[in-house]
Structure 1
Amino acid sequence: MQSTSINEIPLGVTQSLEWRRHQLLQLAKMAQDHAEEWLQAIAADLGRPIAETHLMEIGPVVERAVVSAALLETWAAPEVFTNVVLDWQKSWKPTVYRAAKGVVLIVGPWNYPMILILQPLSGAIAAGCCAVVKPSEVAPRFASLLAKLLPRYLDPSAFRVVLGGPDIGARMMEYRWDHVFFTGGEKIGRIIAAAAGKLLTPVTLELGGKSPVIIDSKYDIKLAAKRILWGKIANCGQLCVSPDHVYIAREKQEELIAALKECCHQFFPDGALGSGSIGHIVNETHFNRLKSLLARTQGTIVLGGQTDDKLGMEPTIVAEVTADDSLMEEELFGPILPILPVNSIEDAISRIRSGPHPLMMYVFTNDQEIKKNVLANTISGQITFNDTLSELAVKELPFGGIGASGSGYYNSRYGFDTFSYLRSSIDMPRDAEQSLEFRYPPFTEEKVAFLRTTTFMNIPSNLQVNK
Structure 2
Amino acid sequence: MVDPSYTPIDEVQKIHASLQASFKSGKARDIKYRKHQLLQLAYLLKDNKDRFNEAAKQDLGRSYAENEILELYVSLEQIKYIFDNFEKWTKPESVELSIYFGARPRIRKEPKGVVLIFVPFNYPIMLLMSPLAGAIAAGNAACVKVSELLPATSSLLVELFPKYLDPSLYCVVNGDVAVSTKLLELPWDHILYTGSGRVGKIVAEAAAKHLTPITLELGGKCPTIVDPRVNLKVAAKRILWGRTSNAGQTCVAPDYVLIPKDGEEDFIAALKETYLEFYPKGTKEPGTIARLPNRGNFDRVKRLLDDTKGTVVLGGDTDRETKYVAPTIVRDVRFDDSLMSEEIFAPILPIVPVNDFDEAIEFINARDHPLALYIFTDDSKLKEKVFSNTRSGSCVCNEVVLQIPTPGLPFGGFGASGNGGYHTGKYSFDIFTHQRSTLTMPNWMEIALAARYPPFSDKKSRMVESLSSPSFPPRDSVLNPRGWWRKWVVACLTLGVSLLWAQRRKLIAH
Q: What TM-score do the two structures reach when normalised by structure 2?
A: 0.88
1:61 aligns with 2:81: no
Offset at residue 452 of structure 1 (A)? 4.0
Q: Which of residues 445, 453, 459 in structure 2 aligns to 1:440?
A: 453
CA contact (8 A) 1:106 1:134 kept: yes
CA contact (8 A) 2:332 2:352 kept: yes
For residues 280 and 132 of structure 1, what CA distance do their matches in structure 2 show? 28
Greater CA drift, 273-282 or 57-66 = 273-282
Match of 1:112 in 2: 123
For residues 176 and 409 of structure 1, what CA distance do their matches in structure 2 show? 22
1:383 aligns with 2:392: no
Q: How do 1:407-418 residues align onto structure 2 when only pairs under 5 Å count?
A: 407-410=419-422, 411-418=424-431
For residues 187 and 473 of structure 2, what CA distance do their matches in structure 1 show? 47
1:204 aligns with 2:215: yes
For residues 354 and 63 of structure 2, what CA distance do their matches in structure 1 show? 35
CA contact (8 A) 2:226 2:259 kept: yes
Offset at residue 302 of structure 1 (A)? 0.7
CA contact (8 A) 2:75 2:126 kept: yes
Offset at residue 451 of structure 1 (A)? 3.0
Q: Which of residues 72, 85, 93 in structure 1 aligns to 2:104?
A: 93
Deviations 1:259-292 (A, max 9, x none): 1111111111111111622111111111111111
1:426 aligns with 2:467: no
For residues 5 and 367 of structure 1, what CA distance do their matches in structure 2 show? 57
Match of 1:340 in 2: 352
Greater CA drift, 392-401 or 241-250 = 392-401
Give secondary structure in 1 for the equivalent of 2:387: helix
For residues 241 and 67 of structure 1, what CA distance do their matches in structure 2 show? 23
Unaligned runs of 5+ in 1: none
For residues 225 and 456 of structure 2, what CA distance do their matches in structure 1 show? 65
For residues 281 and 177 of structure 1, what CA distance do their matches in structure 2 show? 32
For residues 427 and 104 of structure 1, what CA distance do their matches in structure 2 show? 30
CA contact (8 A) 2:194 2:216 kept: yes
1:274 aligns with 2:285: yes
Match of 1:265 in 2: 276
CA contact (8 A) 1:107 1:183 kept: yes
Q: Which of residues 438, 463, 466 in structure 2 aligns to 1:450?
A: 463
Tell me the amino acid that sits aligned with residue 460 of structure 2.
K
Percent identity reads 43
CA contact (8 A) 2:62 2:290 kept: yes
Q: How do 1:44-83 residues align onto structure 2 when only pairs under 5 Å count?
A: 44-81=58-95
For residues 430 and 459 of structure 2, what CA distance do their matches in structure 1 show? 45
Match of 1:23 in 2: 37
For residues 127 and 472 of structure 2, what CA distance do their matches in structure 1 show? 52
**Which of structures 1 and 2 has the bigger CA Rg?**
2
Q: Which of residues 133, 138, 145 in structure 1 aligns to 2:144?
A: 133
For residues 210 and 286 of structure 2, what CA distance do their matches in structure 1 show? 49
Match of 2:490 in 1: none
Deviations 1:405-431 (A, max 9, x none): 001111210010000011011110121
CA contact (8 A) 1:102 1:130 kept: yes
For residues 24 and 50 of structure 1, what CA distance do their matches in structure 2 show? 24
Give secondary structure in 2 for the equivalent of 1:104: strand
CA contact (8 A) 1:364 1:386 kept: yes
Q: How do 1:92-241 residues align onto structure 2 when only pairs under 5 Å count?
A: 92-241=103-252
CA contact (8 A) 2:258 2:354 kept: yes
Give secondary structure in 2 for the equivalent of 1:247: strand
Give secondary structure in 1 for the equivalent of 2:255: strand
1:357 aligns with 2:362: no
1:403 aligns with 2:403: no
1:288 aligns with 2:302: no
Offset at residue 457 of structure 1 (A)? 4.1
Match of 2:318 in 1: 307
CA contact (8 A) 1:4 1:177 kept: no
Offset at residue 458 of structure 1 (A)? 4.4
Tell me the amino acid that sits aligned with residue 378 of structure 2.
N
Unaligned runs of 5+ in 2: 1-12, 482-510
Tell me the amino acid that sits aligned with residue 201 of structure 1.
T
For residues 444 and 457 of structure 2, what CA distance do their matches in structure 1 show? 23
For residues 470 and 151 of structure 2, what CA distance do their matches in structure 1 show? 66
Match of 1:250 in 2: 261
For residues 7 and 158 of structure 1, what CA distance do their matches in structure 2 show? 8
Offset at residue 118 of structure 1 (A)? 1.5
Offset at residue 381 of structure 1 (A)? 0.4
For residues 412 and 60 of structure 1, what CA distance do their matches in structure 2 show? 12
Offset at residue 124 of structure 1 (A)? 0.5
Q: What TM-score do the two structures reach when normalised by structure 1?
A: 0.96
CA contact (8 A) 1:356 1:404 kept: yes
Deviations 1:65-91 (A, max 9, x none): 12211111111110012xx222x4221
CA RMSD of aligned residues (A): 1.6
CA contact (8 A) 2:228 2:267 kept: no
For residues 4 and 400 of structure 1, what CA distance do their matches in structure 2 show? 30
Offset at residue 26 of structure 1 (A)? 0.7
CA contact (8 A) 2:120 2:147 kept: yes
CA contact (8 A) 1:29 1:62 kept: no
CA contact (8 A) 1:5 1:103 kept: no
Match of 2:379 in 1: 367
Match of 1:6 in 2: 19
Deviations 1:233-272 (A, max 9, x none): 1000011011100001101111111111111111111111
Tell me the amino acid that sits aligned with residue 443 of structure 2.
R
For residues 193 and 30 of structure 1, what CA distance do their matches in structure 2 show? 31
Greater CA drift, 307-316 or 322-331 = 307-316
